[in-house]
A = this chain, B = another copy of it.
Amino acid sequence: MKTYQPRLLQEDLYSIPIDAFFKSAFSVDCVIFGYHEAELKVLLIQRGTEPFENYWALPGDLVYPNEDLDSAALRILNDLTSLTNIPIQQVKTFGKVDRHPLGRVITIAYLALVEPTDLAPHASSWASDTRWHPIDDIPQLAFDHREILEVSLEELRSRILHEDLWSKVLPAKFSLTQFQELFETILGKTFDKGNFRKKVVKFKFLQKLEEAQRGVSHRPSLLYSFDAKRYQEMKANGFSFEF
């Protein structure tokens, strides 16, 4: 039987002994953040099987042999939330030797930001529960999922400034206060109202509408919509928020 000679036949599958190098697998884990009305949550499943039975965990799955990594992440997202057409982003690959008790499994973490919709009914055999957890009240997690979640949260904070992830969790018509709340919640900061508005209105991708809020017991706020095309143009020229 052939043995693997490091560096001799690099990346040549035929020279690798099954029993040494193929005791490994790769999975995708999804960190699905949900934002709604100044609350940031994350979607966790409760595991129905060993290892880590009954622990909460990030939803994840092995990648099918004929499936791209991105597709696998989208599949998981879609299975759980029925959402399609959501942009997902690779965060990082976690591959510590001992991260999985049953063997060598590396996992590629993906990130999405969605509105916390009602959850699709799930097969009870694969997860005993599925639930949105507030980001500052996370139970003990299986595997290294705590670390994956923390890294992903940092990544979310960074990406929200460089991409229009946020546009998926705002209503079609929104007030500048809602817009500010979103960034305050996710970044964990607060901003001066006047200065925030000045900064944000300069960027021409927030379109002021004729319409206003109704039925509130204070001055109604004017509504804005997001001009995605303009945003993309500006992004192409290097635009990003600097909050």
A62 to B95, CA, bound (A): 13
Q: Which of A92, A93, A102, A126 has the most C-beta atoms of chain B within 10 angstroms of its own C-beta?
A: A93
Q: Are A12 and B93 in contact (CB under 8 A)?
A: no
CB <8 Å contact, A68 and B96: yes
Q: Does A8 lie within 8 Å of B60, measured CB to CB?
A: no
Q: When the two chains form their complex, are residues A65 and B21 in contact, meaning their CB atoms are under 8 A apart? A: yes
- Whether A100 is near chain B, meaning CB under 8 Å from some CB there, is yes
* Cβ contact within 8 Å between B27 and A26: no
Q: Which residues of B contact A64 (CB under 8 A)?
A: 21
CA distance A66 to B21 in the complex (A): 10
Tell whether A21 pairs with B62 under 8 Å between CB atoms, given A9-B49, A51-B12, A126-B7.
Answer: yes
Residues of B near A22 (CB, < 8 A) are 18, 22-25
Question: Within the complex, which residue of B7, B24, B66, B69 is in contact with A61, where a contact is CB–CB below 8 Å?
Answer: B7
Per the CB 8 Å criterion, the residue count for chain A at the interface is: 54
Task: Choose among A4, A25, A27 the residue with the greatest number of B CB atoms under 10 Å from its CB.
Answer: A25
Chain B residue contacts of A68, Cβ below 8 A: 95-97
**Contact flags (1/0) for A92-113 with B, using CB distance below 8 Å?**
1101110010111110100000
A62 lies within 8 A of B16 (CB): yes
Partner of A62, one of B11, B25, B61, B100: B11
Choose one: B79, B96, B97, B102; the contact of A7 (CB below 8 Å).
B79
Is A13 interfacial (CB 8 A cutoff)?
Answer: yes
- In order of increasing CB-CB distance, the 7 nearest A-B pairs are A7-B126, A69-B95, A13-B103, A13-B102, A93-B93, A22-B22, A93-B108
Can you sample 19 A-B contacts with CB below 8 Å?
A7-B61, A7-B79, A7-B127, A10-B27, A10-B126, A11-B51, A11-B102, A11-B143, A13-B25, A13-B100, A13-B102, A13-B103, A14-B102, A18-B22, A21-B25, A22-B23, A22-B25, A24-B25, A65-B97
